[in-house]
């Protein structure tokens, strides 16, 4: 099902630099619908274009509104990003919670928007009351001020990381292939034989636990076939043998 | 158990503004250990202090190193943040995955660090190979460039949002209390009675479903006791009665 990504609305933004940074952060995170309510320095804005690193040329034209009420008119659910919690009874989301909520709404055909207040005073209480929920970014309470561009980046990235399906951890091996257990066992056997030849094992009692530890150490490296070959070469060179490489 | 938060290391940073933005982002996210490897313009740096919005005065003194190798010497596990994946067989984490991994390591007494390359060229392959894992920030592949300060913010926030236990959604009611079901049922009964008096229900057949819908509509508002009282007042005023408020 086609889903509409959330709209970013900057209410009374002041500095073009921050509008540009917001656009850049949006496009970084696959968001492209930007609306401005009464930008102080008008629109278009040269400083915004410079700071956007080309993002403003790549997204659809920015839409300009005179009031927040008009800017959210076609939205079904609107999240107000505020630096401090207001004395209002209104649902509060974390950025990740809001991102998941807006994904679910988009899946049902609802249009959503994230609203950010201007640099000087943030959103007026009246404007917050026109929104359906508040997003509060959980930061260090003793040092929580973000600039506008940074706030937009965190919210957009919360959205992007919700849609991104990349695994939390992976081990890309490029053109090489992970070695199978036989290749690894052959390497370990050869290493063990060479060490035996050179008198590495002081006593036969110690040998099993030492080889077990070596195997554990090197298996954690999750070697590729190429890396196994490299280690065979190392063993050959160190031991002065040429019987394998 | 006491856990050491990760260290942030900027390798060959160029612009003081970005170092300052990084410090600000760190303190926003409760991180305070900053190390610099060979900062281009030396240290201290006035522009960094201005851009940090006071963060550099609040965190412990920044530590300066000549090489990345020295900067990571006391660390147990080091994550390299890179804009592009290298042709290296090395574990790759998302920011959230790395944050969880470093939390787990901290719980075992391990010291961790996140390394960021300089503005011009990022981290050299040699430096990446000195790290244990790579962090790749999953962004729009067609527009993925972040500036240094923004990259630090995203990684620090991934850490902060991992330690933050704030629920994804909440409804803070301040000094007021959520109304209980009796208070809500009384309000609905009074509304229904008034509507009945005023001839709102065209037929007795429709009344049950209409009142059920009304109850569903207003119950979604999860009203507080104060809001219930306000609605009683509204009913009184609209109906011209003074029998309750």
Per-residue pLDDT of B135-153, as tens digits, reads: 999 999 999 989 999 999 9
Per-residue confidence (pLDDT) for residue A242, from 0 to 100: 62
For B18-29, the pLDDT digits (tens) are 999 999 999 999
For B107-121, the pLDDT digits (tens) are 888 899 999 999 988
The answer, for A167 touching chain B at a CB cutoff of 8 Å, is: yes
Per-residue confidence (pLDDT) for residue B145, from 0 to 100: 87
Per-residue confidence (pLDDT) for residue A220, from 0 to 100: 84
Per-residue confidence (pLDDT) for residue B78, from 0 to 100: 94
CB spacing of B143 vs A92 below 8 angstroms:
no
Per-residue confidence (pLDDT) for residue A1, from 0 to 100: 43
The answer, for B167 touching chain A at a CB cutoff of 8 Å, is: yes
CB spacing of A28 vs B138 below 8 angstroms:
no
Position B220 confidence tier, pLDDT thresholds 50, 70, 90: confident
CB A99 within 8 A of CB A139: no
Per-residue confidence (pLDDT) for residue A243, from 0 to 100: 53
Per-residue confidence (pLDDT) for residue A154, from 0 to 100: 96
- Comparing CB atoms, the residue among B93, B145, B169 nearest residue A93 is B169
Cβ neighbours of B154 in A, within 8 Å:
153-154, 157
Top-confidence residue, B81 or B221: B81
The answer, for B100 touching chain A at a CB cutoff of 8 Å, is: yes
Q: For residue A171, what are the contacts with CB-CB under 8 A and spacing of at least 6?
A: A222, B89, B90, B91, B92
> In angstroms, what separates the C-alpha of A24 from chain B's closest C-alpha?
8
Q: Which residue in chain B has the smallest CA separation from A178?
A: B89
DSSP secondary structure letter of residue A122: B
Interface of B with A in 115-144 (CB under 8 A): 133, 136-140, 143-144
| Residue whose tokens read 């400083």 | A47
As a whole number of angstroms, the distance between CA B245 and CA B241 comes to 9
Interface of A with B in 17-46 (CB under 8 A): 25, 27-30
Q: What's the CA angle centered on A144, arms A140 and A145, to 5 degrees?
A: 160
Per-residue confidence (pLDDT) for residue B54, from 0 to 100: 96
- Comparing CB atoms, the residue among B133, B168, B224 nearest residue A89 is B224
As a whole number of angstroms, the distance between CA B239 and CA B190 comes to 11
CB A98 within 8 A of CB A39: no
The answer, for A229 touching chain B at a CB cutoff of 8 Å, is: no
Please report, for residues A49, A52, A184, A227, B240, the alpha-carbon distance to residue A207 in angstroms, rounded to integers and kept in the order given: 68, 63, 19, 25, 97
Which percentage of chain B shows pLDDT scores above 90?
59
CB B131 within 8 A of CB B93: no
Per-residue confidence (pLDDT) for residue A165, from 0 to 100: 67
* B216 sits in which H/E element: helix B207-219
Position B244 confidence tier, pLDDT thresholds 50, 70, 90: very low
Q: Which residue in chain B has the smallest CA separation from A221?
A: B90
Sort B92 into a burial class: Cβ within 10 Å, 0-12 / 13-18 / 19+. buried
* Best mutation target, A79, A162, A172, to test chain B (most B CBs within 10 A): A172
Which percentage of chain B shows pLDDT scores above 70?
96
Per-residue confidence (pLDDT) for residue A167, from 0 to 100: 67
CB spacing of B94 vs A28 below 8 angstroms:
no
Residues of chain A with pLDDT under 70: 1-3, 165, 167-168, 242-245
Q: Which two tokens stand for residue B160?
A: 């902060």
Position B177 confidence tier, pLDDT thresholds 50, 70, 90: confident
Q: Which two tokens stand for residue B18?
A: 């970005």
Q: How many CB atoms lie within 10 A of CB A61?
A: 9
Q: Which residue in chain B has the smallest CA separation from A53?
A: B145
CB spacing of B92 vs A160 below 8 angstroms:
no
Per-residue confidence (pLDDT) for residue B171, from 0 to 100: 82
Interface of A with B in 46-75 (CB under 8 A): 53-55, 58
CB A74 within 8 A of CB A84: no
Please report, for residues A35, A36, A114, A148, the alpha-carbon distance to residue A9 in angstroms, rounded to integers and kept in the order given: 5, 6, 6, 12
The answer, for A201 touching chain B at a CB cutoff of 8 Å, is: no
CB A115 within 8 A of CB A127: yes
Position B245 confidence tier, pLDDT thresholds 50, 70, 90: very low
Per-residue confidence (pLDDT) for residue B121, from 0 to 100: 86
- Comparing CB atoms, the residue among A87, A93, A170 nearest residue B92 is A170
CB A118 within 8 A of CB A16: no
CB A189 within 8 A of CB A215: no
Cβ neighbours of B169 in A, within 8 Å:
91-94, 97, 101, 133
Cβ neighbours of A51 in B, within 8 Å:
none
- Comparing CB atoms, the residue among B138, B145, B176 nearest residue A161 is B138
Per-residue confidence (pLDDT) for residue B167, from 0 to 100: 67
CB spacing of A161 vs B95 below 8 angstroms:
yes
Q: How many CB atoms lie within 10 A of CB A107?
A: 11
């Amino acid at each position: 099902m086609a889903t509409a990504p959330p709209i970013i609305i900057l209410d009374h933004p002041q500095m073009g630099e921050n509008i540009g940074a917001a656009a850049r952060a949006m496009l970084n995170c696959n968001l492209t619908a930007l609306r401005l309510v009464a930008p102080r320095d008008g629109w278009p804005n040269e400083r915004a274009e410079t700071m956007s690193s080309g993002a403003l040329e790549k997204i659809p034209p920015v839409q300009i509104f005179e009031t927040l009420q008009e800017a959210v008119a076609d939205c079904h659910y609107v999240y107000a990003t505020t630096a401090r919690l207001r004395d209002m009874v209104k649902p509060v989301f974390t950025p990740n919670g809001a991102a998941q909520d807006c994904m679910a709404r988009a899946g049902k055909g609802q249009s959503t928007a994230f609203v950010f207040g201007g640099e000087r005073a943030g959103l007026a209480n009246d404007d917050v009351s026109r929104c359906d929920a508040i997003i509060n970014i959980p930061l260090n309470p003793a040092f929580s001020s973000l600039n506008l561009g940074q706030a937009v980046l965190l919210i957009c990235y919360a959205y992007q990381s919700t849609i991104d399906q990349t695994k939390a951890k992976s081990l890309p091996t490029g053109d090489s292939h992970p070695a199978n257990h036989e290749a690894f066992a052959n390497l370990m056997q050869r290493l063990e034989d060479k060490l035996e030849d050179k008198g590495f094992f002081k006593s036969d009692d110690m040998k099993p636990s030492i080889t077990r530890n070596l195997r554990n150490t090197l298996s954690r490296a999750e070697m590729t076939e190429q890396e196994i070959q490299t280690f065979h070469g190392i063993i050959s060179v160190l031991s002065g043998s040429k019987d394998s490489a």
